[in-house]
Amino acid sequence: MSEQLSTLAAVYGSDVGFLERQQARLNELLHAFGQLWGQGPVMVFRAPGRVNLIGEHTDYNHGFVLPMALDRDVLLALRPRADGRVILGNVEQGFGERSFEISRDIPRLPLGDWGNYVQGPAQLLSQRYEQPLHGFDALVDGRPGLGVPRGAGLSSSSALTVAAAVALVHINELPLNGPALADACGQAEWYVGTRGGVMDQFASLLSRQGHALFLDCRPDAATQTYTYRHVPVSPQFQVVVIDSQVRHANTGPHFNRRVAEGRIGVALLRKYYPGITHLRDVQQVRWEDLEPLLPETITAEALLQQGIDPERILDAGRSAETNIYNVRARCRHVHSENTRVLATMEALSSLDMSRAGALMVEAHRSAATAYEISTPEIDALVDACLEAGAVGARITGAGWGGCVVALVASEQVEAFVSQVSLAYRAATGLQAESFVCRSARGAGLMFSTNL
């Protein structure tokens, strides 16, 4: 095996055919970089996308998640500059070129522009460190096929942020790595207007090949650090991500309502458990003891009578756009989902894939009935996956469309993908797109050479 293939194997695993595809991709990128920026040294950084195996809508409740970095990633080939300018090219011509000067206050590009995901970490690092930061000339490769699928909830945008942050830290020799860097990447995405959790960035940066990543989304009160653990995934099974091709516009109010319902549950439980701030705080209490303390539904008027203002329970600028809140079922999902994440971690660690799969199915039923984030198409896709032989399948991502993640025995994958495609099309008239994925190493410098 050549040195280049050995380097790729350390990242992606031992499948020779897949490694050869990655090698061709890398060499195409290096050739395109040389044509754009000329001869000289070049470094190639990468950051993977992720899929969450289990643990849906638990992160903002300070709960547990179990993502896995994918062998689909964003590549960032670059050459450091002596000044603080960053010039970004993209192998996909439709994205165009972007450039900016690194500073503590970088003007934002229009909302959704891909350059913002590089400007965010550049601005954050400039604010944190006194030294002037070197920029770079770069070429980005996130092409479909081996890049992170876009719009499928697999964190393609976070992968670009992580790749840029890792590159800036490396070329400027900044004392930032590990969980602190992952946390910084999460904060860097605030620049683009989102205030998500840290799961995407931790998975992209800290994952290990052949493993999922258990993450406790509650930072330590004293150190503000997060607990995480690598959990082995049986090499006899593969993760298949199936895109339902269903997208629902204006899901913001639905998501905001779920956040509000969880916080209302906390406010109501605080009468019996003083001092709690998140549903996580009552995770050790049996659900049977919590359930009678929470109403199935409650109106805004009834909440106000109890001193709880539902309009103020969400962050400023957000609205649930409802006067009736389904509190008990939402809290039941979060409480039970945290328990399932811990049980799945134990099942994977003991290579009990049947148990892990059964927990995924339980998670989907809870997401569909208690949290109500599924759709008829997604339910049909999960059923098709199970009928085609998956040991487990569930909705993954925020919900109301998007993707299903399935756990499938390696020798059945090809037949599984074909059968699911036919069954889903027969049930819905839609053509699902499947991504057979392997776990991969987290982000970092992958390759350096002279052109």
Active site residues: 200
The residues, ordered by sequence, that sit 6+ positions from 65 with a Cβ below 8 Å of its Cβ are 52, 54, 55, 58, 59, 199, 214, 215, 217, 341
Assign residue 173 a region (left: φ > 0; alpha: ψ between -120 and 50; beta: otherwise). Answer: left
Query: What is the distance between the alpha carbons of residues 126 and 124, in angstroms, rounded to a whole number?
Result: 5
Number of helices followed by number of strands (H, E) in the chain: 13, 14
User: Which residues does 293 contact at the CB level (< 8 Å), separation at least 6?
Assistant: 268, 269, 272
d(CA 427, CA 379): 11
DSSP 8-state code for residue 232:
E
Q: What are phi and psi of 225, to 5 degrees?
A: -100, 160
- The contacts found for 271-279 with CB under 8 angstroms, 24 or more apart, are 277/62, 278/61, 278/62, 278/218, 279/61, 279/62, 279/63, 279/331, 279/334, 279/335
Token representation of residue 113: 């522009």
Would you say 421 and 20 are in contact if contact means Cβ atoms under 8 Å apart?
A: no
Q: What share of the chain is helix, strand, coil (3-state, %, to 5)?
A: 45, 25, 35
Q: What are phi and psi of 228, to 5 degrees?
A: -145, 165
* CA 426-427-431 angle, 5° bins: 65
**Collapsed DSSP state (helix, strand, coil) of residue 291:** helix
